[in-house]
Amino acid sequence: MQSLGPTLSPVSAQASGPHREHAERLHAELRGNLLRTVVGEAVRSGYLWESYDEGTGRGRGSHPFTGWTALVVLIAGDSYLDI
C-alpha cells in the first residue's frame, strides 16, 4: 500500500486529465465490488476474512480477521484519502 501512497493522495485524486472520468468509474466499480464482497460475507458468515475467493467471493483463510479488512470502513466512507 505504501507504493500507492502518492497515487491515492488527495491532490492526485482530484487532478484533471484525459483519463479522469474512466478512473472515477473504475474507482466506483472497484469500491462497490469490495464493499459487496466483504459486507456480504460478513452477513453470511458472521466474520471478516483474511482473503476472499475471486470466483465466489466466499471468505477464506484466517477468521476473524480485521487486518487489511478494517480498511473497508475507510473505503466505505471514501475517507482513506485523508490519511
Structural domain range at position 62: 19-82
Work out the average pLDDT over 1-19: 57
13 inside domain: no
Query: Does residue 77 form part of some domain?
Result: yes
Give a yes or no: residue 7 inside a domain. Answer: no
pLDDT tens string 24-80:
899 889 889 989 999 999 999 999 888 899 999 999 988 888 788 778 877 888 776
Confidence (pLDDT) at 80:
62
Whether residue 9 lies inside any domain: the answer is no
The domain tally of the chain equals 1
Average pLDDT over residues 4-14: 51
Instruction: Classify residue 30: in a domain, yes or no.
Output: yes
* CA geometry: angle 29, 35, 39, nearest 5 deg: 155
Alpha helix ranges (H) inside the chain: 10-13, 20-45, 71-76
Q: Quick check: is 62 in a domain? A: yes
